[in-house]
């Protein structure tokens, strides 16, 4: 189902039921899985692999070369999973050889209009990026995070699981899982209790996450000491273990 005005390179690999809209351009090394739709005047290029049942709306740019002056045309990749929605004017770039060599996006994410995902970013599942939100290169966004409109994330920073990044926030450090971050430069604004309840976290788990949050973010302790107290004073559930592992791996420091 390719519109007669679309340009699809003979080398592209498209599943039988893929829809390509008017004036769209599909590059030589692109692979698109079944049920995916590409809207009018969109460009999908580079070594890009797109899974099944994605909706790519009109006027998007997917798989363009990185906005990185060190990039010299090397073969790098963009891999997109299943069930994603990419709205108008969104831009998603290939990886770089100085990074991981690929940009990756999981499943069931929503990228609203004018979002930007730069080179070597890694986005999990069920992430929402609201209008105009921007990721610099090498950013990691974990599952169920929400980035408010016009927010931005510094290169190499990480957005933890179920984080709510407020609209207009400028995140320069790592946002601890299950928290809210806001402001310029963003600081921690509490626990994302609404998001945790929507995910059906039990009251006991939420309570323990809150205790861990207070020790790590609010106590004023050195991070190493705070993590030690969490391990000794709070029951270790998968959620607490994930929170601790995230904090221990922080290279840019935590948003506190």
Which residues have a catalytic role annotated? 119-120, 137
Q: What distance in Å separates the CA atoms of residue 190 and residue 94, rounded to the nearest whole number?
A: 34
Contact 195, 177 (CB under 8 A): no
Q: Which whole-number Å values give the CA distances from 37 to 15, 19, 192, 203, in the listed order?
A: 11, 5, 34, 41
- CA atoms of 247 and 242, how far apart (whole Å): 9
| Residue 129 · residue 115 · CB < 8 Å | yes
Length of the chain: 256
Measured N-to-C along each axis, helices 203-213 and 223-233 cross at an angle, to the nearest 10 degrees, of 150
């Amino acid at each position: 189902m390719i519109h007669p005005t679309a340009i699809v390179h003979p080398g592209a690999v498209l599943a039988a039921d893929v829809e390509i809209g008017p004036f769209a351009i599909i590059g030589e090394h692109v692979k698109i899985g079944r049920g995916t739709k590409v809207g009018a005047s969109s460009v999908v290029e580079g070594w890009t692999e797109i899974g099944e049942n994605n909706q790519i709306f009109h006027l998007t740019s997917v798989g363009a070369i990185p906005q990185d002056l060190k990039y010299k045309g090397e073969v790098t990749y963009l891999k997109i999973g299943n069930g994603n929605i990419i709205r108008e004017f969104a831009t998603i770039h290939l990886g770089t050889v100085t990074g991981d060599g690929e940009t990756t996006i999981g499943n069931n994410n929503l990228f609203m209009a004018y979002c930007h995902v730069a080179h070597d970013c890694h986005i999990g599942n069920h992430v929402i990026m609201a209008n105009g939100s921007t990721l610099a290169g090498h950013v990691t966004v974990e599952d169920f995070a929400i980035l408010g409109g016009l927010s931005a994330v510094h290169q190499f920073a990480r957005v933890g699981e179920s984080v709510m990044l407020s609209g207009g926030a400028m995140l320069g450090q790592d946002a601890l899982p299950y928290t809210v971050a806001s402001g310029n430069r963003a600081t921690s604004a509490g626990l994302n209790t609404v998001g945790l309840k929507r995910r059906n976290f039990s009251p006991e788990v939420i309570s323990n996450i809150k205790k861990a949050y207070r020790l790590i973010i609010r106590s004023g302790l050195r991070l190493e000491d705070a993590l030690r107290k969490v391990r000794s004073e709070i029951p270790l559930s998968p959620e607490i273990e994930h929170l601790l592992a995230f904090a221990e791996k922080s290279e840019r420091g935590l948003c506190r």
